[in-house]
Amino acid sequence: MTEILIALIVLMIIGALVAIETSNLLYSVISIGAVGFLLSIVFLFLSAPDLAITQMAVEVITLVILLRAIAGSGREAVSDRRSIFGTVVTVAMVLILAGFSVRMFADFPEFGQPVTDRFADAPSNMYLREGLEKTGAANIVTAVLLDFRAYDTLGEATVLFCAVVGALSILRRKTKKQPDEPDEENEP
Amino acid sequence: MIVKTVCGWMKAFILLYGIHIILYGHLTPGGGFAGGVIAASAFVLIMLAEGEAVGLKTFSRKAASTWDSVGVLSFLVMAGLGLLLAGTFFVNFWTTDESAHFTLFSSGIIPVCNIGIGLKVCSSLYLVFVVLTAMHLALKPGNKGENS
């Protein structure tokens, strides 16, 4: 179990490195897709099917959009010289983050041991214990998302809505000119 | 040809799978967001396989905008109904007893909210794809609709 996870994560790291290092944009996008799909399998092994389904679906859409963007841009390869300052800053940030992570991992419970065991009065314990009676939803993830923490879901929906409104407003002048689309506004 | 035939077979199944994930979100893994993304991928598939014209005829930009707003508004209306009927924003006012557990019509407003979010996510992602694809079309030299 742990070995499978380690193998998957190593593969993900290799995929991410390939995505950065290769100069061909298509290879890069495909590597990013591989990282996403491997992450979906990792979620499945960690008993989080909700996340796995979402990750898989979002990954497919992202991949399609990225491939489409590459096909449209007409560029196939990128070459980028690396600045020494950027490399130094990146290495420093990675080292700092690694230091914090090592400090954090020392406090983590054993693998597979829920962290809520330590806090008997944590709200998540209540969600797990009384979720079915209080909401009637058999899927506890949905019960938390849409009943106990529905405010967060509303915020998430608002973020998505604002993102789409922004994208439509910025790119509107170009979409308006599509020949086979009914005009919404009068042409100038 | 092959792509179009496969798309014709698959689009209904993909859409159906997305709707199933949305509707059964409170019983099985999934929910409004995941189901909405899968349903959107069905429309993206139509757009890729049959071309932009057919895709926009199947699910026009205006309809997508409308459903986007309808989805997020229905979610808000369910929250507001909770405020009106039971006194708290987002309270699950339409509770069911224990015999209804594990059936489709259990858990009150959660399936309704799931449907709203599913509609919202589906049309949002489709709109994003349309916007990006149309931009790519407009930037291509020699396109009819480029200058006006």
Question: What does the pLDDT look like over A123-139, one tens digit per residue?
Answer: 778 888 877 777 777 77
Q: Which residue did the predictor score with more confidence, A96 or B98? A: A96
When pLDDT is averaged across residues B16-26 and rounded to a whole number, the result is 88
Tell me, yes or no, whether A99 lies in a domain.
Answer: no
Tell me, yes or no, whether A185 lies in a domain.
Answer: no
Domain count, chain A: 1
Domain that holds residue A15: 1-78
Measure Cα distances from A178 to A19, A175, B52, B146 in Å. Answer: 34, 6, 10, 8
Chain B residues touching A151 at Cβ < 8 A: 89-90
Residue B27 CB contacts under 8 Å (≥ 6 apart), including other chains: A137, A138, A139, B102, B104, B106
**B66 contact A CB<8A:** no
User: Which pLDDT score, from 0 to 100, does residue A88 have?
Assistant: 93
Q: Is the ipTM of this complex over 0.85?
A: no
Nearest CA in chain B to A71: B136
Residue A173 contacts residue B147 (beta carbons within 8 Å): no
User: Which pLDDT score, from 0 to 100, does residue B129 have?
Assistant: 85
User: Which pLDDT score, from 0 to 100, does residue A98 have?
Assistant: 95
Q: Which residue did the predictor score with more confidence, A94 or B66? A: A94
Q: Tell me the three state secondary structure of residue A24.
A: strand
- The band of A181, judged by pLDDT with boundaries at 50, 70 and 90, is low
Chain A residues touching B29 at Cβ < 8 A: 49-50, 52-53, 139, 141
Tell me, yes or no, whether A104 lies in a domain.
Answer: no
Residue B109 contacts residue B78 (beta carbons within 8 Å): yes
**B125 contact A CB<8A:** yes
What tokens were used for B116? Answer: 């709203």
pLDDT at A176 over 90: no
Residue B16 CB contacts under 8 Å (≥ 6 apart), including other chains: none
Label residue A151 exposed, middle or buried (CB < 10 Å: 0-12, 13-18, 19+): exposed
Distance between CA atoms of residues A150 and A153, nearest Å: 5
Cα–Cα nearest to A126, from A149, A153, A92:
A149
When pLDDT is averaged across residues A136-145 and rounded to a whole number, the result is 79
Q: Do B145 and A53 touch (CB under 8 A)?
A: no
**A182 contact B CB<8A:** yes
- The band of A188, judged by pLDDT with boundaries at 50, 70 and 90, is very low
- The band of A156, judged by pLDDT with boundaries at 50, 70 and 90, is confident
User: Which pLDDT score, from 0 to 100, does residue A175 have?
Assistant: 47
Q: Do B106 and A147 touch (CB under 8 A)?
A: no
Q: pTM for the full model?
A: 0.77
Tell me, yes or no, whether A8 lies in a domain.
Answer: yes
Q: Do B127 and A174 touch (CB under 8 A)?
A: no
User: Which pLDDT score, from 0 to 100, does residue B66 have?
Assistant: 87
**B49 contact A CB<8A:** no
When pLDDT is averaged across residues B66-83 and rounded to a whole number, the result is 85
Q: Which residue has the tokens 């923490």?
A: A149
Distance between CA atoms of residues B14 and B20, nearest Å: 10
Q: Do B113 and A153 touch (CB under 8 A)?
A: yes
Residue B139 CB contacts under 8 Å (≥ 6 apart), including other chains: A72, A174
Q: Which residue did the predictor score with more confidence, A104 or B98? A: A104
Distance between CA atoms of residues A79 and B68, nearest Å: 40
User: Which pLDDT score, from 0 to 100, does residue A17 have?
Assistant: 92
Tell me, yes or no, whether A60 lies in a domain.
Answer: yes
pLDDT at B137 over 90: no
Q: Do B107 and A137 touch (CB under 8 A)?
A: yes
When pLDDT is averaged across residues B137-144 and rounded to a whole number, the result is 47
- The band of A34, judged by pLDDT with boundaries at 50, 70 and 90, is very high
The domain locations on chain B are: 2-146
User: Which pLDDT score, from 0 to 100, does residue B148 have?
Assistant: 31
Cα–Cα nearest to A133, from B19, B108, B144, B62:
B108
